[in-house]
Amino acid sequence: MRLFKKLLIITGILLIANAAFGQSQYWKNPKYGKDSVERVTYVKNKSIYREFLKNKNYKDAYQPWRWIYNNVPAASKNTYLDGVKIYKWFIKKEKDATKKQLYVDTLMMVYDTRVKYFKKEGYVLGRKAVDLLKYRPEAVEDAYAMVNRSIELRKKRTDYTVLYWKVKLAESLFKDGKKGADEVLNAYAIASEIADYNIANNPKKKASYQSTKENFEKIFTDSDAASCENLIALYTPKFEAEPTNAELLEKITTILSDRECKDSELFAKASENLYKVSPTPKAAYMLAELFKSKGEYAKAKKYYLEASNNETNLEDKSNMLVALSYLMNGNIKSPQEAVKYAKQAISANPKNGNAYMILGLSYASIQKYGPNDLTAKAVYWIAVDNFVKAKRVDPTLAEKANNYIKVYSQYFIENKRAFFYDLQDGQTYKFDGWIKETTTVRIKK
pTM for the full model? 0.61
CB atoms within 10 A of CB 260: 9
| pLDDT of 153 | 96
Domain extents for the chain?
Answer: 351-445
Please give the DSSP secondary-structure letter assigned to residue 327: I
> How does pLDDT run across 402-417, given as a tens digit for each residue?
999 999 999 999 999 9
The pLDDT assigned to 141 comes to 97
Task: Give the 3-state secondary structure of residue 428.
Answer: strand
Q: What is the pLDDT of residue 155?
A: 95
Gap between the Cα atoms of 70 and 425, Å rounded: 80
Q: Which residues of 212-235 are buried (b: 16+ CB within 10 A; e: fewer)?
A: bbeebbebbeebebbebebbbebb
pLDDT of residue 199: 92
- Neighbour tally for 145: CB within 10 Å: 14
pLDDT digits (tens, 9 = 90+) for 262-302: 889 999 999 999 999 999 999 999 899 999 999 999 999 99
3-state secondary structure of 269: helix
CA distance 178 to 170: 9
Strand pairing partners for 428? 440
The SS3 of residue 136 is coil
Looking at the chain, how many residues does it have?
A: 445
Rounded CA-CA distance 388/417 in Å is 25
Q: Helices in 23-118 by DSSP H: which ranges?
A: 36-54, 58-71, 78-93, 97-118
Cα gap 10→114, rounded to integer Å: 27
Instruction: Give DSSP secondary structure letters for 343-409.
Output: HHHHHH-TT-HHHHHHHHHHHHT-S--SSSHHHHHHHHHHHHHHHHHHHHH-GGGHHHHHHHHHHHH
- pLDDT of 25: 59
Amino acid symbol at 230: N
Whole-number pLDDT of residue 28:
66
Query: Cα separation of 147 and 128, whole Å?
Result: 9
Give Cα 284 distance to the centre of its chain.
26
Write out residues in the chain with pLDDT < 70, as ranges.
1-28
CB 330 within 8 A of CB 364: no
